[in-house]
Chains A and B, each alone.
Chain A
Amino acid sequence: MTEPQPQFASPKPHHVGRGIFLGTVLAGVSSLYWGERVWSHLSTALAPLEAGIPLIPQGGWRIYTIGDGMPSFDPKTWKLEIGGHAAKPMTLDYERLLSLPKVNQVSTFHCVTGWTVTDVHWGGVRLADVLDLVQPNASAHALQFVSAEVPYVDYLTLAQTKLHNVMLAYEMDGVPLPREHGAPVRLIIPEMYGYKNVKWLNGINLVPAEQIGYWEQYGYDQDAWVGHSNGYGT
């Protein structure tokens, strides 16, 4: 048998639950417009906390792949073929790549899906220096970048590759480029969204004209200028 229950005079209820629900939904939907600005301030403050949880994405990076397996890198067998419409096609192995004049730069990496990583320290070689070695023919007006992640390819015009901070990066933040970031070498063109910054490079072909790259076939812009393409800033 249970004890008699005390009787409570029920205070008048207020229907605030629907307000909490709607307020949360509205705050969430409106954050599509203000979320990035707030996050850019918050992420700096949260960086030490983030560093304490190595499992979660560090520094704001997200890892995107398109193939069935992330390419792995073997320094003994890896090769970068650079050819096509060039007078002196060449094949670089990892050792030869590292022996080329090294440059360092700090730049911001923008993903077309909205996230950004600031102050990334890249080390590598200028693409312009590599092109000087292979000597493009007059018929070459664009470059095809081939990834070991088949079938990922993308293109830049020859003029775009001559921007001052375009590089083939084999170091990131002071360490050899990690596998998930495209080891051993990736293209870096900070003025363009990440999908043009081809990871796991194993081929560069000089070609007469740009063709449709991997993400461009799904409607992404051929010229992926940060803030001025793919629906941003237009």
Chain B
Amino acid sequence: MSDNKKHLIEPVEEFEREPVPERCTRGLRSFLGMFAGEHVAGTELLIGPLFVVHGVSAFDLLAGLLVGNLLAVLTWTYVTAPIAVKHRLTLYFQLEKIGGASLVKIYNLANGVLWCCVAAAMIYVSATAVAWPLGMTMPGLNDWLPSGLGLSLIVFGTGLLFAYLAARGYAALSHFANIAAPWMVVMFAVFGIASLPELGIASFSDFWRVANESIWPGQVQPGRIKFTFWHVMFFSWFGNMAWHWGMGDLSIFRFAKKSSYGFASAAGMFFGHYMAWICAGLLYAVQIHRNSADVAITPASLVFGIAGWAGIILVFIAGWTTANPIIYRAGLAFQSLHPRWTRFHVTLAAGVVASVVGIFPGLCSKFLDVAALYGLALCPMGAVIFADHYFMKKFGMVDFYAERAGLRNWWPPLAAWLLALAACVVMNKVAGVQIFFLGLPGWFAAGVLYLVMSKFAQRRLADGGFKV
């Protein structure tokens, strides 16, 4: 095997099963670039229009996004980053220390699969930048199946390319995200600015009137629920719940010199989730302004009318820079199932799964629900990590219990996760609580359940003379 080829397939040292050494930590700029690149993304071109589809009003959108994104930044800074910097471990390895290798494998499998679903949406968005200019038929707003073989092949090929690049490691994707991030921010701003004349906006006073009448008129599309301020606020706070409350970004912030780097998430939240969602909504309003029957959300088609080929390039790259870290994280999750698998090969496999899922456009037309479900499903384990970090010693218990006791199976973390999810299902099905509002109750339920069950289980073992 040539040296070149060896370099391509050998695992990259990413400290998957050891703390990141101090000399390998990164500066604030790396995180600003990472967050801006990851959250100014292709899926913003789905989310912005989907708010319109759900009939949100202008005030509810602008105010809900402001509050929700601020809460998200504070959660990253004061919940996720301090634990990441303290232990400098991946989410998966930290969970293994708390719950044991066998139990955590189940969680990691769910984690990796859900991340593959999110990456699939990113891949689909990028693929539209290839398929739409070729004149392929694109799916309608409520279509679940692909509109043709050509589009399916393009989605799959795009996914394979992204998977290969993600498998090359954090440094490579961070560098590309850093280069693309400032340009992407400017491009989203351009989408908004250049949309204004088409919508008949010539001054600030025009904006508020047109925003209420034409951009976010509050009309719900058939089959969708009506969104209010609370939907927007909780969605923008919990849209990335798996990464902050759920501790997914322990894997990223373990490279941070200080926990205050959590504020770098503001680059993603306010340039991405605030500005980009608004500008994407403006693009959708332009599309409907031109043809009121055209309610399909095809990112490439949305941007071309305003920004031409530069917009098409943006759609491809914005999907790419987001899919990369997500496939990377999914690779880490799957690798923890079998540590002897190389991260390179596992990440490639995760990318293939995401590519197959991405072929189905229904995932994108229901992306708000998918994002909420993914956050909800994963966040209870973040509560377990949080409780283990802050409360175990305080309540006379042992943290990192499975590691200290040498156990492969330690049931309280998994039981807390499953019971919290079961409680959320009951709240949804019996009490009718919508999925967008279940994240926080689920998180607190998991934390409390974990502490109570740990108290019971650790005492039982201690009574039997077991010491750690």
Query: Do they bind each other?
Result: no
- B residues lining the A interface (CB < 8 Å): none
- A residues lining the B interface (CB < 8 Å): none
